[in-house]
Amino acid sequence: MFRLQSFWADRGCVLQQPYDVEVGAGTMAPETFLRVLGPKPYRVGYAQPSRRPADGRYGENPNRLFKHTQFQLILKPPPVNVQELYLESLEALGIDLKKHDIKFEEDNWEWPAGGAWGVGWQVMFDGQEITQFTYFQQCGGLDLDPICAELTYGLERITQVLQDLDSIYDIVWARDPETGAPVTYGEVRFAEELQFSVYNFETADVAKLWEHFNLYEAEAKALLTQANSLLESESASGSEKRRFPLLATYELALKCSNLFNILDARGAISVTERVGVIGRIRALAVGVAKAYALQQAA
Amino acid sequence: MPDFLLEIGLEEVPARMIAGAEAELGRRVQVLLARERLLEPKAKVTTYSTPRRLAVLVEGVLTAQADTEEQMTGPSWKVAFNDGAPTAAAEAFAKKAGVAVSALEKVATAKGEYVGASIKRHGCSASELLVAELPKEVLAIYWAKNMYWRAGKPERFVRPLRWLVALLDSAVVPLEITGIAAGNASRGHRVLHGDAPVVIASAKDYSEALRKAFVVVDTAERRQIIRKALDKATRTVAGVRWREDEPLVETVLHLTEWPTVILGDFEPEYLKLPEEVLVTVMRDHQKYFAVEDSEGKLAPHFLAVLNTAVNEEGEAIIRHGNARVLRARFKDAQFFWDFDQKTPLTERVESLKNVTFQKELGSYYWKTEENRRVVKNLVNAMPGVNWQPPDWNVLDTATKLAKADLTAELVKEFTELQGIIGGLYAKAQGLGDKVRDAIYDQYKPASTDDKIPKTVEGQLLGLADRVQTVTAMFGINMAPTGSKDPFALRRAANGIIKILAESDVPLSLASVLNAAAMKDANRQQLDDFFRERLHFYLKDVRGFRYDVVNAVLAEDANDVRSAIKRAEDTTGKLGSPDFLAVSAAFKRIKNILRQADEKGYAHGNWANIKADEAKNLRSAIQSLANEVAKLREQRKYSEALALIATLRPTVDTFFDKVMVLDPDESVRGANLALIAGVLSNFSGIADFSEIVTS
């Protein structure tokens, strides 16, 4: 992780800390979702704990997690040797490419609720997918120009491969410098996986979750209405437009997305309702993206 | 005669798109060179591809187009020259032709003397033309999914283009595509060769130069290498063979530049999982080949095709890594299988109320109840004779449980196994082999090449499920239009026709549609849709001639098996001159009847015919009609058609000697009744007037 960060820092990437609001993937953090919009070049890397309530397995399945960690990298615009740089970054992790089989296999990505999609590959390493590589084409319903390359490293998967383990929970996270005794991933995270599986699948209060959802949505919507009239107004000054709290509005949308995921894991959303709720989240995310693009131009 | 090489260097192209694009590139280059008169008649065009490149080598390109001379004729000499002095007309023509006025010549034509000019065109060099024209061709290649990558979005292509090689022998053709200038430097295998450029000294050295850089550019050669390597790796284990899988060979072929194969193992305990699950994991998720023993049973090994060459140490690492991934996947499947058994299928039906089939229609619970209604109607519509009826309990149980596996974890993981997993669970839960088979086979045939369900219960469930879906979707205006068929209704209808064609189920298309009838579905639209599908089946799946298909369906498009038999037997007669002559006569009859109809001529009584030739025809009809009807009834169409063909001399003589539309109204009426009688007595097999006879 440290080596990965310094590799990319040496190549001009801003190193960010994980975003401190619950997200399902590194893509949803504003460092990706909003920064990819507009013409301004940007390079950023950050680790992002990603919550997927429905993927929880009470810590019983050795390969599935409710919360995993992505190392997310955005290169906007992508350099011409982006694939070569990626392979070098694997070498920086201590991987000898000559002793492994690496393939770039077609895998296109989309996040309908974020109005985002791209084409790319899953990088297969001795038969294991270790990275998702995407050329973003659209985000927040807006065409991107320039486009950007998004590299998402699955940190648990990569470590599992490096340490040659059958279970994620056996990953050695640290060692006592004197005794050499390991601290494993399981020791650190098992309780969290178990308890959040119980919460997400069994105990989360559906009515309250809906209440939270509606509250966050209402506030986000209200802010978006204000944002739109302000940003489209010809009399408002640039500085007035720039201080409008769109970033906060986006956080409210992220809250809705996470609540939706918990409700979904809880089995509280029928397939019929699903489309409708995703549409509501999409309206917020796309709304913020559009407003953000206007704000950047202000 | 120089050779031309073009190599387009790309970031990894999706495997499924490569073969088509490679062929298209070859076609486009060949057509371009031919159009521009740059292709030698015996030129050889060879195409190559790997995940990172498409290439074409043309052996036998002309260095330049031949110079041409063209004659152009202008105004008449008198208009162009006034006493030898050029007029404005002469000057205008000279300008248009691009020659000096002094170079204009006098041309004698049949219409008099005219002004002529001979225009010499200097041929372009191959290099100039390729620079001007080839980029457009490359950018026009079709890709199922495109992307932008350059700022300002000037073009779209499947993946970013990273290098270009364009050579006429050893001279670089200075093309530019997507901002990349062509040169003579290619790239080798990412890992085995590294970043150093691979210089192509001359066009025809291409494949050998890349071989040295660990890239086999010829797909046929790679296919051979992969097959041999699979054989070789499999031989390390006694008594097993790799399971032939043509599509998988094609996929891995397009994922590798330097293919090698390793054989790995998995714990035999996983063989307890159903083979379908194991194979899906290996084949679809991991792109591994399965290994089987001499009886075709899975053995605990797998074969992975690598895109690298490694030493023993590397091979051990890669084998180990792949085996770990496979084990994890099997472990997942085992986990889901065990978990799912806690809730038997019978208890899952109720929860289908929460799974949407289609928003406007209802849930899968609704769908299940609908299927039960349709299955019941189908059984009631079947005649009870000469046929082994289905086991009603099996059929109803299977229909009730057919969709219950939608709520199973294993199906959420392996959606492509829906139905199959339901069948396996039914068996594991003690519901018996017949229920298992019916549920297991419900989505068969998955394509026109696939088999139909093996049991009658499976066939009926398959029919009911599909016809219910098609009818219900038509009822909410979701019929397919043009290339849009989001619910795969055409495939569903194809499945219905294939089941009716290849099973013994005694049902017509109409009775299948009746069984599913819903008040909102437009029956005419459904009938037309199924007729079109039957046409497709006969013509494109069975390969009958379109005119035979038209002829057969003009008579009846309802009984599928009869339509096939009639098409086969009609096809068998296409070589018979007598049959073709009779078909031509039928066409003539139809035309005459139509004319008569337009003129308002009434049909009379064929007792009133006068001419001997007409009388002969009448007796021929009378003597053949009963026999033909009997044969038709017995579905002995070939014999019936042979009899009909014997009408030829009588019919031919009739048309030679008799004017059907006789001025005498009574004769005319009798004649019309006679020829209409030919049609009515010999119809029912095919409308021969549709047969193309010339």
Q: Which pLDDT value is given to residue B335?
A: 85
A42-51 and A14-16 as β-strands: parallel, antiparallel, unpaired? parallel
Q: List the helix and strand counts (H, then E) for chain A.
A: 9, 10
The answer to whether residue B388 scores a pLDDT higher than 80 is no
Lowest mean pLDDT: which of A92-96, B31-35, B380-384?
B380-384
Residues A106 and A228 in one domain: no
A58 and chain B in contact, CB less than 8 A = no
CB-based contact B206:B212 (threshold 8 Å) = no
Backbone angles phi, psi at B559, to 5 degrees: -100, 105
B362-363 and B356-358 as β-strands: parallel, antiparallel, unpaired? antiparallel
- Tell me which of A163, A181, A201 is where a domain ends: A201
B180-181 and B176-177 as β-strands: parallel, antiparallel, unpaired? antiparallel
Chain B residues within an 8 Å CB radius of A83: 11
pLDDT tens digit sequence for B251-277: 999 999 999 999 999 999 999 999 999
Q: Which pLDDT value is given to residue B484?
A: 83
CB within 8 Å of chain A, chain B residues 131-160: 145, 147-153, 159-160
pLDDT tens digit sequence for B124-144: 999 999 999 999 999 999 999
Residues A215 and A174 in one domain: no
Q: Which pLDDT value is given to residue B43?
A: 95
Distance CA A154, CA A160 (A): 10
Q: Which pLDDT value is given to residue B386?
A: 62
CB-based contact A64:A171 (threshold 8 Å) = no
Classify the complex by whether its ipTM is higher than 0.90, answering yes or no: yes
CATH value at residue A272: 1.20.58.180
Residues A175 and A73 in one domain: yes
DSSP state of B244: P
- Record: contact B255-A118, CB cut-off 8 A: no
- Record: contact B148-A147, CB cut-off 8 A: yes
Q: Which pLDDT value is given to residue A271?
A: 61
The answer to whether residue B520 scores a pLDDT higher than 80 is no
Residue range B350-543, CATH number: 1.10.3210
Side chain identity, residue B452: I
- Smallest Cβ–Cβ distance between A270 and the set B327, B332, B354 belongs to B354
Backbone angles phi, psi at A77, to 5 degrees: -75, 165
A147 and chain B in contact, CB less than 8 A = yes
Chain B residues within an 8 Å CB radius of A127: 286, 288, 304, 321-322, 325-326
Residues A163 and A218 in one domain: no
CA distance B479 to chain A (A): 21
- Tell me which of A164, A186, A201 is where a domain ends: A201
Tokens of B340: 């799912």
Residues A230 and A160 in one domain: no
Chain B residues within an 8 Å CB radius of A85: none
Side chain identity, residue A253: A
- Residues B390, B391, B395, B396: is their CA dihedral positive or negative? positive
The answer to whether residue A161 scores a pLDDT higher than 80 is yes
Residues A43 and A81 in one domain: yes
- Record: contact B314-A99, CB cut-off 8 A: yes
Mean pLDDT computed over every residue of chain A: 93
Give the confidence band of A64 by pLDDT, cuts at 50, 70, 90: confident
Residues A50 and A132 in one domain: yes
The answer to whether residue B694 scores a pLDDT higher than 80 is no
Q: Which pLDDT value is given to residue A281?
A: 95
Which distant-in-sequence residues (6+ apart) come within 8 Å of B144 by Cβ? Answer: B14, B16, B17
B36 and chain A in contact, CB less than 8 A = no
Residues A217 and A187 in one domain: no
A98 and chain B in contact, CB less than 8 A = yes
Lowest mean pLDDT: which of A45-54, A149-158, B8-17, B335-344?
B335-344
pLDDT tens digit sequence for B586-645: 999 999 999 998 988 888 888 888 888 989 999 999 989 999 999 999 999 999 999 999
CA distance A4 to chain B (A): 20
- Smallest Cβ–Cβ distance between B325 and the set A80, A98, A128 belongs to A128
Q: Which pLDDT value is given to residue B387?
A: 67
Measuring CA to CA, how many Å separate B376 from each of B451, B505, B605?
24, 14, 49
Distance CA B428, CA B405 (A): 13
Q: What is the mean pLDDT of residues B288-316?
A: 95
Tokens of B213: 């850089």
CB-based contact B628:B640 (threshold 8 Å) = yes
Q: Which pLDDT value is given to residue A294?
A: 93
Residues A18 and A166 in one domain: yes
A127 and chain B in contact, CB less than 8 A = yes
Residues A24 and A124 in one domain: yes
- Smallest Cβ–Cβ distance between B324 and the set A105, A166, A275 belongs to A166
The answer to whether residue A106 scores a pLDDT higher than 70 is yes
Q: Which pLDDT value is given to residue A100?
A: 95
- Record: contact B147-A97, CB cut-off 8 A: no
Q: What is the mean pLDDT of residues B385-411?
A: 89
Q: What is the mean pLDDT of residues B6-20?
A: 98
Distance CA A247, CA A252 (A): 9
Query: Could you tell me which chain A residue has the CA closest to the CA of B163?
Result: A80
- Smallest Cβ–Cβ distance between B308 and the set A101, A147, A161 belongs to A101
Q: Which pLDDT value is given to residue B684?
A: 85
CA distance A22 to chain B (A): 25
Transcribe A102-145 into DSSP letters. EEEEE--EEEGGGTEEEEEEEEEETTEEEEEEEEEEEETTEEEE
Which three-class secondary structure state does DSSP give residue B605? coil
- Record: contact A102-B153, CB cut-off 8 A: no
Beta strands in chain A (DSSP E): 14-16, 42-51, 67-76, 102-106, 109-111, 116-125, 128-139, 142-154, 172-175, 182-184
- Record: contact B321-A125, CB cut-off 8 A: yes
- Smallest Cβ–Cβ distance between B149 and the set A78, A102, A161 belongs to A78
DSSP state of B484: B
The answer to whether residue A2 scores a pLDDT higher than 90 is no
- Record: contact B314-A100, CB cut-off 8 A: yes
Runs of H (alpha helix) within B506-647 = 509-516, 523-536, 546-555, 560-572, 577-599, 612-633, 637-645
CB-based contact A254:A24 (threshold 8 Å) = no
Domain encompassing residue A237: 205-297
The answer to whether residue B241 scores a pLDDT higher than 90 is yes
| Closest residue by Cα to residue B553 from B580, B527, B537, B534 | B534
| Closest residue by Cα to residue B163 from B182, B147, B139 | B182
Q: Which pLDDT value is given to residue A174?
A: 93
- Tell me which of A157, A178, A201 is where a domain ends: A201
Task: Tell me which fold the domain B570-690 belongs to.
Answer: Isoleucyl-tRNA Synthetase; Domain 1 (1.10.730)
Burial class (CB in 10 A: 0-12, 13-18, 19+), B448: middle
- pTM of the shown model: 0.81
CA distance A190 to chain B (A): 18
In a mutational test of the B interface, the residue from A101, A139, A266 whose CB has the highest number of chain B CBs within 10 Å is A101
Residues A122 and A180 in one domain: yes
CATH value at residue A148: 3.30.930.10
- Residues A265, A269, A275, A279: is their CA dihedral positive or negative? negative
Distance CA B503, CA B378 (A): 15
Distance CA B181, CA B162 (A): 10
Which three-class secondary structure state does DSSP give residue A63? coil
pLDDT tens digit sequence for B150-167: 999 899 999 999 999 999
Q: Which pLDDT value is given to residue A90?
A: 95
B692 against B212, higher pLDDT: B212
Strand partners for B242: B291
B180 and chain A in contact, CB less than 8 A = no
Chain B residues within an 8 Å CB radius of A201: none
Chain B residues within an 8 Å CB radius of A98: 191-192, 308, 310, 314
Distance CA B366, CA B26 (A): 52
- Record: contact B255-A137, CB cut-off 8 A: no
Burial class (CB in 10 A: 0-12, 13-18, 19+), B85: exposed
Chain B residues within an 8 Å CB radius of A128: 321, 324-325
- For tokens 């096809």, name the residue: B571
Lowest mean pLDDT: which of A235-244, A266-275, B482-491, B512-521?
A266-275
CB-based contact B194:B188 (threshold 8 Å) = yes
Q: Which pLDDT value is given to residue B119?
A: 86
CB within 8 Å of chain A, chain B residues 581-640: none
Backbone angles phi, psi at B478, to 5 degrees: -110, 25
The answer to whether residue A50 scores a pLDDT higher than 80 is yes
Q: How many domains does chain A have?
A: 2
CA distance A26 to chain B (A): 22
- Record: contact B51-A98, CB cut-off 8 A: no
Residues A73 and A130 in one domain: yes
B519 and chain A in contact, CB less than 8 A = no
Distance CA B552, CA B555 (A): 6
The answer to whether residue A272 scores a pLDDT higher than 70 is no
